Amino acid sequence: MKVEIYSDVVCPWCYIGERRFERALGTFPGGRDIEVVFRPFQLDPAAPATGTPIAQYLAKRFGRPADGMLARVTEAAASEGIAMDWDRAIAVNTRTAHRLLRLAEHEYGPAVQHALMEKLFDAHFSQGGNVADHAQLTALAVSVGMDAERVRTYLDSNEGAAELAAEFDHARQRGVQAVPTFVFDGQYVVQGGHPASVFLRVLEEVWQRSGTEVSSAATHPSIDAKTP
């Protein structure tokens, strides 16, 4: 089974949802046979190239303070062992980070891409990192086993930019409008950062269905993933 996770590195529910999904995967008997790949999506394609304190940026974007929203997210994150530091978090455009994630998948494989995504989440939400800064991105990439010189050269070029744009288009064609969105076996879609128990139920259901003929992937049937 293959699971594609449409995600943005500055999306808190993507971080929380990924952590919950990993918990479900860890208890699923067939978990070791499941390939997990992250696919790119931008919550805010117009986000600035230069970092801005996130509370300031959200207040400007939505026209009101975001304290209540951030508090709710902080509580949900804490229940998954994630410490959010909004005072240090920086709002910035994520296109370069997605381009780096693409390099990780294509030249190092899904496991390295997964490790890099975890580093990016932690850098943005807990460490006050700038996920558009080339030096910081290079350090994160090296920490998961990627070659420093290859990463520097790649980030300083436009390599992968056209392919990334095509992946953003493909997400829209697939009907992805919000993240996180989980696509199981190219056919079954679950949206949202559901509890681990829900993801476990979905994994079991898709695993059972995988032995039967299914409809075209273009239809992307959804699985009812409401919390019991």
| Residue entry with tokens 């919390």 | 227
Task: Name the least confident of 27-36, 72-81, 164-173.
Answer: 27-36
φ, ψ of residue 63 to 5 degrees: the values are 80, 15
Task: Name the least confident of 96-105, 120-129, 183-192, 203-212.
Answer: 203-212
pLDDT at res. 225:
56
Task: Summarize pLDDT for 104-155 with one digit per residue, the tens.
Answer: 999 999 999 999 999 999 999 999 999 999 999 999 999 999 999 999 999 9
What are the beta bridge partners of residue 190? 182
pLDDT at res. 219:
34
Kindly indicate the confidence band of residue 220, based on its pLDDT and cuts at 50, 70 and 90: very low
Which of 26, 21, 12 minimizes the C-alpha distance to 76? 12
d(CA 99, CA 159): 8
Which of 53, 128, 126 minimizes the C-alpha distance to 91? 53
pTM above 0.85, yes or no: yes
Tokens of 175: 């009907």
Domains of the chain, earliest start first: 2-219 (3.40.30.10)
Q: What share of the chain has pLDDT > 90, as a percent?
A: 82
Task: Summarize pLDDT for 144-158 with one digit per residue, the tens.
Answer: 999 999 999 999 999
218 against 94, higher pLDDT:
94
- The H or E element that residue 56 is part of is helix 54-62
Please state the rounded mean pLDDT for residues 68-78. 94
φ, ψ of residue 101 to 5 degrees: the values are -60, -35
Question: Judging by beta carbons within 10 Å of its beta carbon (0-12, 13-18, 19+), is residue 215 exposed, middle or buried?
Answer: exposed
Task: Summarize pLDDT for 13-69 with one digit per residue, the tens.
Answer: 999 999 999 999 999 998 888 999 999 999 999 998 999 999 888 888 888 778 888
